Amino acid sequence: MPEREITYAEAIREALREEMRKDPSVFLIGEDIGVYGGAFGVTQGLLEEFGAERVIDTPISETAIVGAAIGAALLGMRPVAEIMFFDFMTLCADQIVNQAAKIRFMFGGKAKVSIVFRSPAGSGTGAAGHHSGSLESWFAQIPGLRVVAPATPYDAKGLLKSAIRDDNPVIFMEHKLLYRVKGPVPEEEYTIPLGVGEVKRKGKDLTIVAYSITVRRSLEAAELLAREGIEAEVVDIRTLRPLDEEIILSSVRKTNRALVVYEPPRFGSFGAEIAALIAEKAFDYLDAPVMRLGGLEMPPPYNPNLERRIAPQVEDIVKASWELLQS
Amino acid sequence: MLLQEDKLKMYFTMLLIRRFEERAEELYMAGKIWGTFHLYIGEEAVATGACFALRPEDYITSTHRGHGHCIAKGADVKKMMAELMGKATGYCYGLGGSMHIADLEGGNLGATGIVGSAIPIAVGAALACKLQKNNRVVLCFFGDGAANTGAFHEAVNMAAVFKLPVVFLCENNLYAMSFPVQKAFAIPDIAERAKGYGIPGITVDGMDVLAVYEATKEAVELARSGFGPTLVEARTYRFRGHSKSDKGVYRTKEEVHMWMERCPIKRFRAHLLAEGVPEATLKDLEKKAEDLIEEAVRFAAESPEPDLEKARGMVYA
Ligand SMILES: Cc1ncc(C[n+]2csc(CCOP(=O)(O)OP(=O)(O)O)c2C)c(N)n1
Ligand SMILES: [Mg+2]
């Protein structure tokens, strides 16, 4: 029997539905997640199944959404808060960074803040400077937070289930351009542990390290490179924090060349952390300096031709791979 | 008192907003405009009435639903259309698009994609007006949804205690995306909030351009005379979906229909006719608005694309 295929958005919805059925302490809170079904339709149908007590539409009050999730979590609930666009994380950054991430530690290891913050990120939809951000690196830098960024429907479902069951605040970054992408997702129950990456394609000539949308683009690039006889290995880290260091290092030890591909601006983003890790722990295996391919140093522009150029595309990854192979 | 000449100007502004958006909608369907945008159709009386209460040197801040504000403040529809098409000749060099139109020279300090975020900025502009003693006023547009952000509370309170020359104009179109005001507020009128800040508050019929004008005029005069801010709530309705991806499941066709019957343009037209304006005069204005928008579309279509290197140079001053 052929494996069932569903979209990334449907996979996320399934994870929410299954966890809500299983655990009455799980509830959803956010803007327009009820009748509207979320800005990207992810929560469609959940209000009908679980009612307005567990699928809570709120006023436009990001700070209160996140603060309320934290308060509820302190009393043992497991909220999943939806922040409509990742850019709006800045509005509730106090609650996430100063409260959710630190409370447990500051209270002497006593509290549990089990919350998932789901939010769509990324450029490529023509939504310009306030609706196209990729701010995951900011949060990956905060001890106390976990940051998850799935690239496939399968990973999205398995990781979200783990995130909901996790006893810590988890930033769950969804990429807008992935919502409609289909992929195999089994009907049976499964989870994917946080902090475990996956080699999405095996190869021997270079390692491409990516997460979220850039995994998909790297796989396409690897396909093009294969036609020219180059075997690129694509490592999907899947979670930024905790980071599966070993999967990156063992790949680089084998291929001896590393290209790190990420959407946010090249300067100071999470890709730089990966590059540092490789330089620090696999230096002796490298035949060339680690190469970073990040976004351009500018806010997301509206014009689609410019917008396309700020984030690494398939052709950019192919080009960078050739440069890396020749250096 | 408004002269008939002024009323005809108001009528023309409303027509221009309506036509601009109808054409923009068509262009969106044809793939010439992308991303998303928020249509103001149905709410024209608010921007028009409010901006007519300003002097040309006064300022406004706008919202994600900002085309109407921009036009009412006197912007060039050619540059606006070019911006929506992402062209180099647009107000923002094609970098901002619909949600970020700003016409600084014309006194429009900009639209924003972050709901509520322009409210504190309006307060800052009003602070500068006070410090610069320039006798100017800032008119701050925002929606019912924005009134529930933390930014609203902090900004309105600060403006009230500093007695800044700003008018807070809440465009209450009864919904924030799918969320109805009945669920978002535990009070019937948003203007009631004013009491909690110690400033005047008033609710007006936002489908009546003259009512909006009168209420805003009074608020602007108070602000200019150093009395501080006023909260004006204009009850209105958007005839289209929230954005281009709205399936409209949260309100009934009957409700939309009922409000469309109260179309502010139709209503003002009837008022002008009753005042004795010849129908031919109105038809001329209608034709003129269409022509101007067609010219804008032509201008935008023929304009060049922005350049990446130039855009790079705009990140820092
Ligand atoms: C801080 C923030 N939260 C959520 C959104 C998503 N969003 C865009 S417009 C909107 C509704 C705004 O409602 P309102 O202020 O009433 O303005 P209207 O759209 O009705 O004109 C929402 C929720 C946003 N852009 N910014
Ligand atoms: Mg509204």
pLDDT in tens, A202-243: 999 999 999 999 999 999 999 999 999 999 999 999 999 999
Q: Is B115 a pocket residue for ligand 1 (Cβ < 6 Å)?
A: yes
Strand order of the sheet with strand A55-57? Answer: A55-57, A26-30, A78-82, A116-121, A170-175, A146-148, A239-241
Q: Give this prediction's pTM.
A: 0.97
Across residues A80-109, what is the average pLDDT? Answer: 98
Contact assignment for A127 to B312 by CB distance below 8 Å: no
Q: Is the peptide bond before A79 cis (omega within 30 degrees of 0)?
A: no
Residues of A within an 8 Å Cβ radius of B: 31-32, 34-36, 39, 57-64, 87-88, 91, 125-131, 296-299, 301-306, 309
B136 secondary structure, DSSP code: -
pLDDT, position B245: 83
Q: Is B146 a pocket residue for ligand 1 (Cβ < 6 Å)?
A: yes
d(CA B266, CA B264): 6
Residue in chain A closest to B99 (alpha carbons) equals A128
Atom 21 of ligand 1, nearest CA residue: B143
Query: Is A130 marked active-site?
Result: no
Measuring CA to CA, which residue among A34, A71, A39 is closest to residue A54? A34
Contact assignment for A61 to B150 by CB distance below 8 Å: yes
B264: closest CA of chain A, how far (Å): 28
A53: closest CA of chain B, how far (Å): 14
Distance from Cα A260 to the centre of ligand 1, integer Å: 36
> Mutate which of B99, B144, B246, B314 to disrupt the A interface (most A C-beta within 10 Å)?
B99
d(CA A323, CA B143): 51
Q: In chain B, positions 213-272, which contact chain A (CB-CB < 8 Å)?
A: 245, 249-250
Confidence of residue A327 (pLDDT cuts 50, 70, 90): confident
Residues 6+ apart with CB under 8 A from A228: none
Residue among A14, A19, A62, A174 flagged as catalytic: A62
Choose the residue to mutate in A84, A90, A91, A92 for probing ligand 1, maximizing ligand atoms within 8 Å of C-beta: A84
Cα B296 versus chain centre, distance: 19
Distance from Cα B233 to the centre of ligand 2, integer Å: 11
Q: Which residues of chain B lie closer than 8 angstroms to A126, CB-CB? A: 34-36, 97
pLDDT, position B131: 98
Q: Which residues of chain B lie closer than 8 angstroms to A87, CB-CB? A: 113-114
Calculate the alpha carbon distances from A38 to A86, A117, B138, B143, B282 in Å. 14, 14, 34, 20, 43
B195 secondary structure, DSSP code: H
* Residues less than 5 Å from ion ligand 2, measured at CB: B 143-145, 173, 176
Residue in chain B closest to A300 (alpha carbons) equals B95
Tokens 């998932």: give the residue. Answer: A116
Query: Is A280 marked active-site?
Result: no
What is the ipTM score, two decimals?
Answer: 0.96
Confidence of residue A1 (pLDDT cuts 50, 70, 90): low
Residue A30, pLDDT > 80, answer yes
Tell me the two tokens of residue B196. Answer: 């909690």
Atom 22 of ligand 1, nearest CA residue: B177
Q: Is A60 a pocket residue for ligand 1 (Cβ < 6 Å)?
A: yes
Give the nearest partner residue to B114 out of A130, A298, A305, using CB atoms: A130
Residue A120, pLDDT > 70, answer yes
Confidence of residue A3 (pLDDT cuts 50, 70, 90): confident
Check: CB of residue A155 under 8 Å from CB of residue A327: no
Q: Which residues of chain B lie closer than 8 angstroms to A59, CB-CB? A: 145, 148, 176, 179, 184
Residue A175, pLDDT > 90, answer yes
Check: CB of residue B89 under 8 Å from CB of residue B303: yes
Atom 13 of ligand 1, nearest CA residue: B176
d(CA B28, CA A309): 22
Q: N- to C-terminal Cα distance for chain B?
A: 45
Check: CB of residue B51 under 8 Å from CB of residue B179: no
Contact assignment for A31 to B179 by CB distance below 8 Å: yes
Residue among A131, A136, A263, A307 flagged as catalytic: A131
pLDDT, position B268: 98
Average pLDDT, chain A: 97
Give the nearest partner residue to B250 out of A36, A126, A309, using CB atoms: A36
Distance from Cα B173 to the centre of ligand 2, integer Å: 5
Cα B14 versus chain centre, distance: 11
Residue A63, pLDDT > 80, answer yes
Q: N- to C-terminal Cα distance for chain A?
A: 47
Pairing of strands B230-235, B201-205: parallel
Give the nearest partner residue to B100 out of A59, A125, A129, using CB atoms: A129
Residue B5 burial (CB < 10 Å; 0-12/13-18/19+)?
Answer: exposed
Interhelix angle B209-224/B44-51, nearest 10 degrees: 40
Distance from Cα B216 to the centre of ligand 1, integer Å: 23
Low-confidence ranges of chain B (pLDDT < 50): none
Ligand nearest to the Cα of B116, by number: 1
Residue in chain B closest to A88 (alpha carbons) equals B114
Across residues A161-184, what is the average pLDDT? Answer: 98
HSE value, Cβ hemisphere, 13 Å, CA-based, for B294: 6
Tell me the two tokens of residue A211. Answer: 């997460």
Tell me, yes or no, if B113 comes closer than 8 A to chain A by beta carbon: yes
Q: What proportion of chain A, given as a percentage, has pLDDT over 70?
A: 99
Calculate the alpha carbon distances from A56 to A30, A32, B231 in Å. 6, 9, 29
DSSP codes joined into one string, A115-176:
-EEEEEE-S-SS-GGGS----HHHHHTSTT-EEE---SHHHHHHHHHHHHHSSS-EEEEEEG
Encode pLDDT of B219-237 as tens digits.
999 999 999 999 999 999 9
Tokens 């909260």: give the residue. Answer: B231
d(CA A225, CA A215): 15
Q: Which residues of chain B lie closer than 8 angstroms to A309, CB-CB? A: 308
